[in-house]
Amino acid sequence: MLALLLASVAFMVIAAPVMGADPSPGVSPSPSGAVSPAPVDGSPATAPCPLPNPLPTAQPGQSPLAHNLCPAVLNGAAPLRLIAWIFTPIFQAIFMLMALLYNVFGDIGIAIIVLTILLRLLLVPVFRKQIVSQRRMQILQPELRAIQLKYKGNRTKISEEQMRLYRERGINPAAGCLPALLQLVLLIPMYQVISQGLAAPDISSMLQIAGNPLLSVACQDPGNAAVPCIDPTIPWLDWLTPAAGGLDAHVPEILFMVIPGIFGLSVLALISAFLQLIQTRMMIPVNTTNDPQVRMQQRIFLILPLFSLFYGWILPAGLFLYWITTTIFSIVQQYLIAGWGGLFPLFGWTPRFARDHQPRFPVPSYTPPVENGPGSESPSTRRSPTDRAAGTIRPARSKTRTSRRGRRR
């Protein structure tokens, strides 16, 4: 999950200039997303995909993310713009829901938190399936190692036996891909909603579908292009940036600059990294500290959250508020299904509440199907997949077996 966050953030940082707001008059974007100044003599700009200067405003019902597409985009000249156009419907749906919650609560910070909780509630079955599949894969590790030991050197046979074992246990190894994809699908539009939507002075086009307005928001200062329509201030987080006069959700939150121009410390990024560390440790199975692979994963989990600290001074504060909320939701869901996992012992200490803890909704244990057909094994004689893989059960020799000398006679 954390690796997905880092990959997504890197993509967003690259795509931000392309998927952002309209360029100001006097500039014309090139197909690669760069902005070049318009000629001073009034001659048209020369580019592989010329666009009018200035760019036309978005039509009713059209997102500002998609109005600057041209045929060159479809030919691969600007793939990031094409991706932005694909994400436009999701962007608009999330933005409208956030605007509705802003009308209800009057606080953009609370609106982001409630929006995140609603999205995660809708995705509870998908993420539960991921946690259950991950837990079953962890339980299956001894049997998978037995298969690798028995068919060592034969990759084809190992793959066949592992897939047979997966089918027998009803496990889909690719079950964790869909939640990761959904995280990416939600993260990119959420970034645009917070960084660009909350900074827009006119949001009327994003509150319409096919020219029909579905929602209205009372702007702070209508007609003033220098004032965002939605108030981006989060009053209950003003203590994070006292020198700036308050915290705005669409700009980065920086407590102080550690290295000027290179790295700044963000409190929200620090909280996000700490929660990500808790979540990833809970995903580690219990009593696996002697496994070298698990130890390597633990070292990686200690290093990866540090990257979130670096992104804290680049990404808007509202995005970290979204990620903190979704991480807390994931921790609660992980706790209810799989328990504390490998979170404890922590530095050799296990609290009383974590000892012999049983999850509220545990992963059901595997029960082999009962077969009564001809030639099927009875429950008392059926061998487990571990025994079959390792070859530990062999038919016993009969005590009445005659010797070779006796057979010759």
Q: What is the pLDDT of residues 236-295, one digit of tens each?
A: 988 887 666 678 999 998 888 888 878 888 999 999 999 998 988 888 776 655 666 666
- How far is the C-alpha of 250 from the C-alpha of 237, rounded, in Å? 13
* pLDDT given at position 112: 96
Query: What per-residue confidence (pLDDT) applies to 183?
Result: 84
**pLDDT of 81:** 63
pLDDT interval class at 19 (50, 70, 90): very low
Residue 29 has pLDDT above 70, yes or no: no
The sign of the dihedral angle between the CA atoms of 339, 340, 345, 351 is negative
* pTM for the whole structure: 0.72
Percent of the chain at pLDDT exceeding 90: 25
- Do 273 and 320 meet the contact criterion of CB atoms below 8 Å apart? no
Average of per-residue pLDDT values in the chain: 73
Question: What's the mean pLDDT in 290-305?
Answer: 70
pLDDT at residue 228 greater than cutoff 90: yes
How far is the CA of 350 from the CAs of 240, 343, 344, 346, 358, in angstroms?
33, 9, 6, 6, 15
The pLDDT confidence band at residue 383, using thresholds 50, 70 and 90, is low
Going by pLDDT thresholds of 50, 70 and 90, the confidence category of residue 10 is very low
Supply the pLDDT for residue 5.
47
Cβ atoms of 284 and 217 within 8 Å: the answer is no
For residue 44, cis peptide bond before it (omega within 30 degrees of 0): no
pLDDT band, residue 43 (cuts 50/70/90): very low
What confidence tier does 102 reach under pLDDT thresholds 50, 70, 90?
A: very high
pLDDT, position 287: 60
Lowest-pLDDT choice from 119-128, 171-180, 305-314: 171-180
* pLDDT confidence of residue 306: 79
- Phi first, then psi: give them for residue 247, nearest 5 degrees: -105, 125
| Amino acid type, 216 | S
Look up residue 69 and give its two tokens. 């597409």
Residue 54, number of CB atoms within 10 A of its CB: 14
pLDDT in tens, 118-165: 999 999 988 888 888 888 887 888 888 889 888 988 889 999 998 998
> How much of the chain is in helix, strand and coil states, percent to nearest 5?
50, 5, 45
| pLDDT over threshold 80, residue 85 | no
Question: Which of 5-14, 143-152, 262-271, 326-335 has the weakest average pLDDT?
Answer: 5-14
Measured in residues, the chain has a length of 409
pLDDT of res. 2? 42
Task: Look at residue 326 and tell me whether its pLDDT is greater than 90.
Answer: yes
